[in-house]
Structure 1
Amino acid sequence: MTYLTFLLAAEVTEEAKKGGLFDFNATLPLMVLQFLVLMTLLNIIFYKPIAQVLDDREEYVRSSLSKASDDLLKADELVARYEKDLADARKSAQQIISESKKDAQEVVSNRIQEAQKEAEALVLAASEQLNEQKKNALQSLEGQVDTLSDQIKAKLLIS
Structure 2
Amino acid sequence: MISLFLLGATEGGLFDFDATLPLMAVQVVLLTFILNSLFFRPVGRVVEEREGYVTTTRAEAKEKLLKVEKLEAELLEQLKGARQAAQKLINDAEQDSDRLYREALALATAEANASREEARREIDSQRESALNQLKVDSEKLGDLIVERLLGAK
TM-score, normalized by length of structure 2? Answer: 0.81
Distance 2:28 2:115 in 1: 124
| Offset from partner CA, 1:91-136 (integer Å, 9 cap, x none) | 2112111211211121122112111111111111111111011101
In the alignment, structure 1 residue 89 sits paired with structure 2 residue 77: no
Q: Indicate yes or no: 2:87 matched with 1:98.
A: no
Structure 1, unaligned runs of 5 or more:
1-16
Shift of 1:46: 1.9
**1:65 corresponds to which of 28, 45, 58:** 58
Aligned partner of 1:80 in structure 2 is 73
What secondary structure, in the 3-state scheme, does the structure 2 residue paired with 1:19 have? coil
**2:39 aligns with one of 27, 38, 46:** 46
Between the aligned partners of 2:135 and 2:90, the Cα distance in structure 1 is 66
Q: What is the CA-CA distance between 1:153 and the residue it aligns to?
A: 3.4
Aligned to 1:25: 18
Question: How many equivalent residue pairs?
Answer: 144
Whether 1:151 aligns to 2:144 is yes
Structure 2, unaligned runs of 5 or more: 1-9
Name the structure 2 match of 1:115.
108
Percent identity, please.
35
Deviation of the 1:156 alpha carbon: 4.2
Structure number with higher relative contact order (C-alpha < 8 Å, ≥ 6 residues apart): 2
The residue number in structure 1 matching 2:5 is none
Q: Residues 35 and 20 of structure 1: is their aligned pair in 2 closer, same or farther, counting only changes over 3 Å?
A: farther
TM-score normalised according to structure 1 size: 0.79
Q: For residue 41 of structure 1, what is the amino acid of its counterpart?
A: I
Q: What is the CA-CA distance between 1:20 and the residue it aligns to?
A: 6.5
Q: Does 1:133 align with 2:126?
A: yes
Q: Which residue does 2:7 correspond to in 1? A: none
Aligned with 2:17: secondary structure? coil
Partner of residue 6, structure 1: none
Shift of 1:31: 1.9
